[in-house]
């Protein structure tokens, strides 16, 4: 019996032996790969269908996002109201998301109701009709939402900084106008749906306390669908970054808040510097105890929060600094960011600070493995980026072993002032 009078030993997170739970893999009769993590104590299941149907593959702007959103808005057998009623009756939640390369349909439900809700998902994949009246409502709502958002400096800044890094005609740099919604055509949505959903490339990820017949259940409902039959075009885009590096945009002449974005191009996850750059980024601005937060929030009081991060794109990526500050201190805020870059270039990171960040990152990894949904999310990220579990363990090794000298060398390689685009939007 454990002696409750004796405190347990304190162990640094960096010394923990983290293990990524393996995922089971199998294929349905039509070749659709399934990745499964059977874990958890509650009778709850998540199933996610991932399609290569992001805006990377669309011919006209917002077709991919609109198609994804309207999957629940009517089929040959059920109207939108009936579809939503069906999932709500069983206490299930169905969500859709469209990203740059991929689009997803995500189902959360109780295990005992799985056989009742999966057929409706299959119906959405084969019989959605994109009713004109639903498209008209969607168009009106989105145009109104866009008009409201365009008055917000942070929304405008997020759109423009990506355009400067990648170019407007690159999927990562493209953004929406009200004219794009006016151009939406029902037949174009149907054509995109048939190619990239009904016959499109699909992967299935599932996690939770899975029933014993999970594989048979998925195969009986989805194994006979015509998935993975259409050719996914090998579309490539070259980034066309802006020639100018500094921009000041007046979105609201009377605005008192300034949205600041600073960014530079950066390799994707397959580059050998990526994991080390994540350590450097956390020291720089990646968590609440970072240098940017300590200086610009805690010391100067210019902002409520400032952070930096590496974008999680499959192809190109970027290193981004993001904050909102008072209009009168925006220039000073930018100057302090460059000051922190210079310190990382010119001075090695103290060992105490590096140990703190190591433990923070290992603790974050531990939290990311807390539960089956988090585990399958990490597996999905690796699989979609064409990585395997060795990436997880290699990252842990770099977090534990990277030196202050290596971080300083990396700062001199990537944190150069002239490499960053600088945008202020009032």
pLDDT in the model for residue 13: 79
Instruction: Write the pLDDT tens digit of every residue in 34-69.
Output: 999 999 889 999 999 999 999 999 999 999 999 999
Q: Top-level CATH class of 246-425?
A: alpha beta
pLDDT in the model for residue 41: 87
pLDDT in the model for residue 7: 85
Q: Measured between alpha carbons, how far is 92 from 392 in angstroms, rounded to an integer?
A: 32
Q: Measured between alpha carbons, how far is 387 from 374 in angstroms, rounded to an integer?
A: 17
Q: Is 3.30.830.10 the CATH number for 21-222?
A: yes
Residues 140, 141, 144, 149: what is their CA dihedral angle, to the nearest 10 degrees?
-140
The domain segmentation of the chain, as residue ranges, is 21-222, 246-425
Is the full-model pTM beyond 0.85?
yes
Q: Measured between alpha carbons, how far is 18 from 393 in angstroms, rounded to an integer?
A: 9
Instruction: Write the pLDDT tens digit of every residue in 189-230.
Output: 999 999 999 999 999 999 999 999 999 999 999 999 999 988
Hey, what are 303's tokens? 């902002």
Distances from the Cα of 383 to the Cα of 256, 257, 349, 388, 391, angstroms: 44, 40, 34, 7, 11
Segment-wise mean pLDDT, segments of 10 residues, the chain, 426 residues = 81 84 96 96 95 95 97 96 96 96 97 96 97 96 96 96 95 94 96 97 97 96 93 87 95 94 95 96 96 96 96 92 96 97 98 96 91 96 95 96 97 97 97
Q: Measured between alpha carbons, how far is 60 from 55 in angstroms, rounded to an integer?
A: 9
pLDDT in the model for residue 398: 96
Q: Smallest Cα–Cα separation from 374: which of 390, 400, 392?
A: 392
Residues 129, 134, 139, 140: what is their CA dihedral angle, to the nearest 10 degrees?
170
Q: Do domains 21-222 and 246-425 have the same CATH topology?
A: yes
pLDDT in the model for residue 395: 95
pLDDT in the model for residue 385: 94
How many helices and strands in the chain, by DSSP H and E?
Answer: 15, 11
């Amino acid at each position: 019996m454990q002696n409750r009078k004796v405190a347990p030993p304190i162990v640094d997170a960096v010394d923990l032996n983290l293990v990524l739970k393996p995922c089971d893999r199998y294929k349905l009769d039509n070749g659709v790969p399934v990745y499964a993590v059977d874990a958890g104590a509650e009778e709850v299941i998540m199933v996610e269908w991932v399609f290569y149907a992001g805006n990377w593959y669309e011919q006209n702007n917002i077709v991919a996002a609109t198609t994804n959103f309207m999957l629940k808005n009517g089929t040959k057998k059920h109207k939108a109201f009936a579809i939503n009623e069906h999932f709500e009756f069983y206490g299930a939640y169905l969500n859709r998301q469209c990203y740059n390369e991929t689009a997803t349909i995500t189902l959360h439900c109780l295990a005992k109701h799985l056989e009742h809700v999966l057929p409706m998902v299959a119906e959405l994949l084969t019989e959605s009709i994109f009713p004109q009246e639903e498209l008209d409502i969607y168009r009106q709502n989105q145009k109104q939402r866009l008009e409201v958002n365009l008055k917000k400096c942070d929304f405008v800044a997020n759109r423009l900084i990506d355009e400067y890094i990648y170019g407007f005609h690159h999927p990562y740099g493209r953004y929406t106008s009200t004219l794009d919604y006016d151009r939406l055509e029902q037949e174009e949505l149907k054509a995109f749906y048939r190619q990239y959903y009904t016959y499109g490339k699909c992967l299935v990820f599932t996690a939770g306390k899975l029933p014993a017949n999970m594989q048979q259940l998925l195969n009986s409902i989805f194994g006979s669908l015509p998935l993975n039959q259409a050719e996914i075009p090998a579309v490539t885009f070259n980034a066309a970054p802006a020639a100018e590096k500094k921009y000041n945009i007046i979105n609201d002449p009377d605005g008192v808040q300034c949205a600041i974005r600073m960014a530079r191009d950066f390799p994707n996850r397959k580059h050998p510097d990526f994991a080390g750059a994540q350590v450097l980024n956390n020291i720089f601005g990646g968590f609440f105890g970072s240098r940017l937060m300590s200086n610009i929030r805690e010391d100067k009081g210019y902002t409520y929060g400032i952070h930096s991060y590496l974008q999680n794109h499959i192809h190109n990526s970027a290193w981004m600094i993001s904050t909102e500050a008072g209009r009168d201190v925006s220039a000073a805020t930018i100057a302090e960011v460059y000051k922190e870059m210079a310190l990382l270039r010119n001075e090695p990171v103290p060992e105490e600070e590096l140990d703190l960040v190591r433990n923070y990152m290992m603790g974050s990894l531990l939290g990311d493995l807390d539960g089956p949904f988090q585990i399958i999310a990490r597996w999905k990220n690796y699989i979609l980026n064409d990585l395997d579990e060795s990436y997880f363990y290699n990252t842990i090794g770099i977090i534990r072993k990277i030196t202050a000298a290596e971080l300083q060398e990396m700062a001199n390689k990537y944190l150069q002032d002239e490499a960053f685009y600088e945008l202020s939007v009032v």
